[in-house]
Structure 1
Amino acid sequence: MNMTEKALALLSEKKFSQLKELLREMNPVDLAGILEEMPLESLPLVYRLLPKELAAEAFAEMDNDQQEVLIQAFSDKELQEILDELYLDDAVDIIEEMPASVVKRILRQTKPEVRKKINEILHYPEDSAGSIMTIEYVDLKKAMTVEEAFHRIRSTGVDKETIYTCYVTDSDRKLEGLVTVKELLLSPKTAIIGDIMQTHVIAASTMDDKEEVANQLQKYDFLALPVVDQEYRLVGIVTFDDAMDVLQEENTEDIEMMAAITPTGKPYLKTSTIDLWKKRVPWLLLLMVSATFTGKIIQAYESALAAQVVLTAFIPMLMDTGG
């Protein structure tokens, strides 16, 4: 019996204390997979068994349909607690996929400063680096000592998506360099950040294509890539996990195009037959027209084909060019 079957069995037997112990030890990604197998009517009940932090991490990994079910079931207080635990880019991703009525409720429960940041990210074009970045990063000043840098990391790092790479900015937030936690650990406490930081920084612009940014992260094996505006001010970072999501989306889109299906935002198995038909019809019509032209070409060479019958062996290849 695998973990999913065990969890479903405990749920059906109403052994909630054992189910709670089973779920609380799981990785958030695995937990999200199990929650997606739960009956929708039982999902809110099972979700409320989880510790707050683990619940938020699993929520970010869940399918949009399950997220919407939970949001509808949450009280305002529960929704606010989940939103407080989510990283900003995860909150933005959820908002982009939710119906308008759900989005309004989410934004009502977010703090004013968080709501402002969410709206700023939502204003970037859908395919830009700005739309997938997070503004939760650690920034340092080059006049700081290593000891002061560690103090800042400890005081602010708990709410940041990554603390391994810290970015050095000036008073106008312009990016001046970066330093890793490894470099900080290996440097004396009195060392100055400006002396140990890397000044040659590869950065992306907020308007760069998100696929290009993802490819940059893959090319240089970065954990995160800084994102700057037109004045080279640091406005956010794109993390490796978000880049992987972008590459997966682009690969799925390419496969759908190869299969003559207009790309859709939903998984194939969760897309209705009518929607699949609508997505495929334009391509089928195009292929029908091209096949008609191929047939006309073959018809024009009927006499040559009659004289050299061996040429008919090439007809399948010609027809394939029309789809």
Structure 2
Amino acid sequence: MEEIRDLEIIRELLETRQYTNLRQKVAEMNTADVAAILEEMEEEELLKVFRILPKSMAADVFSYLEVDHQQMIITSLSDKEAANIIDNLMADDATDLLEEMPANVVKKLLANASADTRRDINHLLRYPEDSAGSIMTVEYVDLKENMTVQDAINRIRQVGVDSETINICYVLDAKRTLVGTVALRYLLITPPDAVIGEMMHENVVFINTMMDQEEVARQFQKYDFTAMPVVDNENRLVGIITVDDIVDILQEEATEDIEKMAAIVPTDKPYMKTTVFETWKKRIPWLLLLMISATFTGSIITSFEDALSACVVLTAYIPMLMDTGGNAGGQASVTIIRGLSLNEIEFKDAFKVVWKEARVAVLCGLTLAAANFVKLLLFDRVTIAVAAVVCLTLVAAVFIAKIIGCLLPMLAKKIGFDPAVMASPFITTIVDALSLLIYFSIATAIMHI
């Protein structure tokens, strides 16, 4: 409600051209709140308000905006104004922005940016996408072992304003090798003449530049840090990653997994900003593949056409058996995929996982079969033979579905694929075909059709 009220006030000040009051109003607000309000505005309004923002907060507000709004603002500003925004962004945010922009715009921005900004951005751009090196920032406080506490505090005053965080300072030797860390709070309570090398924490947990961003997020979760140093193969400090970047990564990875599990090619655009054609392109590949694979199910039914004509009632239970098998496989696959993503399950645990899922499958299958057996006899009024065929198939289908559902994601992870691909739609197609084969095989054996 407060955000809506602020939006109305800002719009009123803008319409009545009370620019001084508008500038004062936004200057008193949190930068994230200002960005949220700008996101709700039309492009023309957004640009006007952004130009009115105090220079000291413009870059911070800019960093919170969606990429398409960032691009719109950058292309609307003069070269000098745009370069000023880039110079005041953290290096990792500036790099993310430039990666999304056309090459000609990037070239112009870098030409007008400061030499330090160009160096930092070019440094980050050389790392593979989704690696620790590509998401780190190069703005941090570094200290030397032979510094005194007073020297360190003076160093923080000198470079701290432009640093991502000053809560943790990183101690380097002459070769810029990371040898320790010092928390700001210890610097504040330690005598000024104490030597950094004698008080630093030497057992440093660090991240390699080539580590995948998903693994980086796990390291943050494991150690509960707000920032972690990033080193190259020679253990030289090249940057740091902060927890705000990890929150973005977790959201991005979770969204990507959900889309893959729903048989959608992942996209980095919000739903409302994705065109119909783009949405079609992301969904149609898997739909085509699944449709083609589902033709095998039709082939199985066709091959048992004579059996079905001999006992037509069997046809009525095909959807139930296929759906139940698919649901059972989906339950197992989602559980295992989540366990794999959290590193709770590894491929070496395959036997334990299969053994557990097998017992769960038997219990679920027998429960479903018992309930279905009663329904078939009391409500559907079928023969005991038909009820037996349906219920035995149900047990077998659930068992096979859960085994496939737990094994496929683990096999995918082992050979280098994303386990999320082996989710409900893919597994359902396989289980449907197997369920039908089992169904007709049992029917043939019991009813001799």
Could you state the TM-score of these two structures normalised by the residue count of structure 2? Answer: 0.68
Q: Which residue of 2 aligns with 1:237?
A: 240
Shift of 1:252: 1.0
| Cα separation, 2, equivalents of 1:303 and 1:253 | 45
**5 Å matches for 1:245-264?**
245-264=248-267
Contact 2:84 2:113 in 1 (8 A): no
Question: SS at the partner of 1:42?
Answer: helix
Q: Which residue of 1 aligns with 2:366?
A: none
Shift of 1:244: 1.1
Shift of 1:119: 1.1
Note closer, same or farther for the CA distance 1:282–1:172 as it changes in structure 2 (3 Å cut): same
1:101 aligns with 2:93: no
Q: Which residue of 2 aligns with 1:313?
A: 317
Question: Which amino acid is 1:313 matched to?
Answer: Y
Question: Which amino acid is 1:315 matched to?
Answer: P
Shift of 1:302: 4.6
Q: Which residue of 2 aligns with 1:21?
A: 24
Contact 2:145 2:172 in 1 (8 A): yes
Q: Residues 14-49 of structure 1, C-alpha deviation per residue, up to 9 Å, x if partnerless?
A: 332222222111111111111122221233221121
Question: SS at the partner of 1:31?
Answer: helix
| Cα separation, 2, equivalents of 1:40 and 1:217 | 37
Contact 2:23 2:54 in 1 (8 A): no
Question: SS at the partner of 1:135?
Answer: coil
Could you state the TM-score of these two structures normalised by the residue count of structure 1? Answer: 0.94
Q: Which residue of 1 aligns with 2:183?
A: 180
Contact 1:64 1:98 in 2 (8 A): no
- Larger displacement relative to structure 2 (234-243 or 177-186): 177-186
- Larger displacement relative to structure 2 (160-169 or 251-260): 251-260
Unaligned runs of 5+ in 2: 327-427, 433-449
Question: SS at the partner of 1:166?
Answer: strand
Q: Which residue of 2 aligns with 1:290?
A: 293
Task: Kindly report the root-mean-square deviation, in angstroms, between the aligned alpha carbons of the 2 structures.
Answer: 1.9
Question: SS at the partner of 1:41?
Answer: helix
| Cα separation, 1, equivalents of 2:58 and 2:165 | 19
Shift of 1:194: 1.6
1:117 aligns with 2:116: no
| Cα separation, 2, equivalents of 1:219 and 1:314 | 47
**5 Å matches for 1:38-49?**
38-49=41-52
Shift of 1:76: 2.4
Of Structure 1 and Structure 2, the greater helix share is in: 2
Q: Percent identity?
A: 53
Structure number with bigger Rg: 2
**5 Å matches for 1:67-146?**
67-146=70-149
Question: Which amino acid is 2:158 matched to?
Answer: S
Contact 1:56 1:82 in 2 (8 A): yes
| Cα separation, 2, equivalents of 1:119 and 1:76 | 19
1:152 aligns with 2:161: no
- Larger displacement relative to structure 2 (291-300 or 194-203): 291-300
Question: SS at the partner of 1:48?
Answer: helix
| Cα separation, 2, equivalents of 1:191 and 1:296 | 80
- Larger displacement relative to structure 2 (201-210 or 61-70): 61-70
Shift of 1:257: 1.3
Question: Which amino acid is 1:109 matched to?
Answer: N
Task: Give the total of aligned pairs.
Answer: 323
- Larger displacement relative to structure 2 (148-157 or 69-78): 69-78
| Cα separation, 1, equivalents of 2:171 and 2:86 | 28
